Structure 1
Amino acid sequence: MKYLLLVYIDPELLEKVPAEEYDAEMRHCIRHALSLAERGTLVGFNKLEDPEQARTVRVREGRTTVFDGPFAETKEVLAGYNLVEADSMEEAVELARQFPWARYGSMEVRPVADMDAERVRVGA
């Protein structure tokens, strides 16, 4: 089963990390991700640009509104993701724990829905 490991970062915590330490954490993260990819566990991963570059699109009653940045009011911001293959939620949580970013925010582990089953269900 696929799980999405959403990386949320508290920018205030991350700002306190010296540049050399951040670079070391990023090197560790990238090397770990590549190792997981070689094993077939990691399907995809990416770092997201800062929230200031984001736009939130909302359509209500046929009207489209575009907001600057993420719409949610929260201290932590979505900073990246890892798409993994795991046999259970417990295994996916363990994979999330191995990335350094939970120390600077949190990692949300969410099962990915089977879109082939959904396509069949709705007749698409």
Structure 2
Amino acid sequence: MQYALLAYTPAEETDRATRPIPGALAARLDRPDVTGWARLHADESATTVRNDEGRMLLTDGPFIDSKEYLAGLILIEADNLDEALTIAGEMLQETRPGTAIEVRPILGGHFRGA
């Protein structure tokens, strides 16, 4: 079964684009059970598109204003939720303090190879 690991991190002072992914986490992302991943720019780079009764409404910034923001997502293959949580826990050990990883089963979709 596929799971999405949604990584949330506190707002930061540094430019995420210039900070490398920690070596141990980068190695973990290269394992066979990781089927894809994306690192996202900071939340202020977001634009939210909403359906306002059939009209498109654009808003600068993320969908939700919070202390933490979605920093990236990782797609994994795991036999069950317990295995997915183990994988998320291993990855969490390689992240910055304050990072949280939300684990969600994927209902369906289409994923293309890079």
TM-score tier by shorter-chain length is: 0.7 to 0.9
In structure 1, the residue matched to 2:85 is 93
Q: TM-score, normalised by structure 1?
A: 0.74
Q: Alignment partner for residue 29 of structure 2, among 25, 33, 42?
A: 33
In structure 2, the residue matched to 1:108 is 102
In structure 1, the residue matched to 2:2 is 2
1:29 maps to amino acid: L
- Do structure 1's residue 53 and structure 2's residue 45 form an aligned pair? yes
Cα RMSD (Å): 2.1
Judging changes above 3 Å, is the alpha-carbon distance between structure 1 residues 115 and 50 closer, same or farther for their aligned structure 2 residues? Answer: closer
| Consecutive aligned runs of 4 or more in structure 1 exceeding 3 Å deviation | none
Percent identity of paired positions between Structure 1 and Structure 2: 36
Distance 1:55 1:5 in 2: 22
